[in-house]
Amino acid sequence: MERFNLIFIETKNSKQSLLGRTAADFVMKEFADFQAVDSRIVKESAYKARPDGYYMQDAVNVILTLDMPLLRKSSVLHYVALLRMRKVTMARLGSKDSESLICMGKATDEGIFVNDEDFLKIDDTKSYNMVYNLLKDRILDSHLLAGVTIVDKNTTFIDDTAKIEIGAKILPFSRIEGDSCVKSGATVSSSYVRNSVVENGASVEMSHVVDSCICRGATVGPFARLRGAQIGCECRVGDFVEVKASKLGKGVKASHLSYVGDADVGDGTNVGCGTVFCNYDGKAKNKTTVGSRCFLGANTNLIAPVVVGDNAFIAAGTTVTRDVEESTFTIGRVKQDTKTITKPQS
- CATH code of the domain covering residue 18: 3.90.550.10
The answer to whether position 153 is within a domain reads yes
Give 106's pLDDT tier (boundaries 50, 70, 90): confident
The answer to whether position 78 is within a domain reads yes
On whether both 114 and 152 belong to a single domain, the answer is no
Task: Report the C-alpha gap between 245 and 232 in whole angstroms.
Answer: 14
Give 14's pLDDT tier (boundaries 50, 70, 90): very high
Tens of pLDDT, residue by residue over 312-332, are 999 999 999 999 999 999 999
| 110: pLDDT strictly greater than 80 | no
Considering the chain, what is the average pLDDT of its residues? 95
Tens of pLDDT, residue by residue over 232-269, are 999 999 999 999 999 999 999 999 999 999 999 999 99
> Pseudo-torsion of CA 191, 197, 201, 205, nearest 10°?
-10
On whether both 167 and 52 belong to a single domain, the answer is no
Percent of the chain with pLDDT over 70: 99
Please tell me the total count of domains within the chain: 2
On whether both 155 and 224 belong to a single domain, the answer is yes
Give 108's pLDDT tier (boundaries 50, 70, 90): low
- Residue 321: the pLDDT is 96
Residues catalogued as catalytic: 256
| 112: pLDDT strictly greater than 70 | yes
> Pseudo-torsion of CA 55, 56, 59, 61, nearest 10°?
-10
Q: Are strands 101-104 and 60-65 parallel, antiparallel or unpaired?
A: antiparallel
Q: What is the CATH number of the domain that holds 164?
A: 2.160.10.10
The answer to whether position 137 is within a domain reads no
Residue 330: other Cβ atoms inside 10 A: 17
Predicted TM-score (pTM) of the model is: 0.92
Residues 6+ apart with CB under 8 A from 209: 191, 192, 193, 194, 196, 198, 220, 225, 226
On whether both 158 and 115 belong to a single domain, the answer is no
Among the listed residues 238, 234, 240, 245, the one whose alpha carbon sits nearest the alpha carbon of residue 267: 234
